[in-house]
Amino acid sequence: MKVYQITDIIPDLIKPTEYYVGVFEDTPDPKIEWPHRHAFYSLIWFTKGNGINVIDFDESEIKPNRIFTINPKQIHNWNYSIDSCGYFLLIEDSLAKHLNIDFSFPFIDIQKDDLQFIEEIFKRMLSKDNQRMAIPYLFSLLSNSETSKKNDTITKFKKLVSENLDKNQTIEQYAEKLSISIEFLNQICKEETGFTPKQLQLDVKITEAKRLMLYSSLNTSEIAFKLGFEDNSYFSRIFKKKSNYSPAEFRKKYLKNEKKS
């Protein structure tokens, strides 16, 4: 699967840059393959428009005043209306690490009280007025939003699962690491996502399995083992239940589409 650099997305750049700020509707659409991955961090704020944004095979609605965030390696695709407007920020991996940036939420909805501040930050960055200094301020503001706070426990839980993909840790062990009761973890997961912690744990593993199928040479058995599934047939059943495709069908479908692009 094609991996794009900032200079691929913004071909008019004369030389590589640590970050790039732009106006969505004023930036020509680059010629890229779908789906694809980025080698950089992306933040896109839609101030107008609609459509669907797909990150790691999960679809989210594009709507005004929703900010999407995409980490490197995440598989991305989208379809947005022709009248879509907004701003975007692209950050190289090295700068993101220096600023301790790592997106833990696929999107957040901006509260009305924060709109003016966020727009002022983007305008300041576009005018190159204290541009780099404005980046950490922007992320500080976003991390303190109500949406971000509400999903903080779930985000930490998913991160722990991602860090222990090859281990069959129990939900009790994860709750202990989060310093919360298993009852509270169950409650917040069901309230915010409609799923149990066990279902979310499987979702994280299956998403990683999809990535590995598309950009690694590992076979199904190797992927199952890497993700802590001792029984390959059980992994295949769970994968088909979650994706509607068997591992072989999924690989054939997406690799075939990639060759056509």
**What is the reported pLDDT for 232?**
93
User: In 10 A of CB 134, how many CB atoms?
Assistant: 19
**pLDDT score at 151:** 66
59: left (phi over 0), alpha (psi -120 to 50) or beta: beta
Q: Are 57 and 210 in contact (CB under 8 A)?
A: yes
Give pLDDT < 70 ranges for the chain. 129-130, 145-151, 256-261
> How many CB atoms are located within 10 Å of the residue 132 CB?
12
Instruction: Please name which of 186, 111, 113, 179 lies closest in space to residue 149, comparing C-alpha atoms.
Output: 111
Per-residue pLDDT, 22:
94
Which H or E run contains 37?
Answer: strand 36-38
Residues 6+ apart with CB under 8 A from 34: 77, 261
* Contact (Cβ atoms closer than 8 angstroms) between residue 97 and residue 58: no
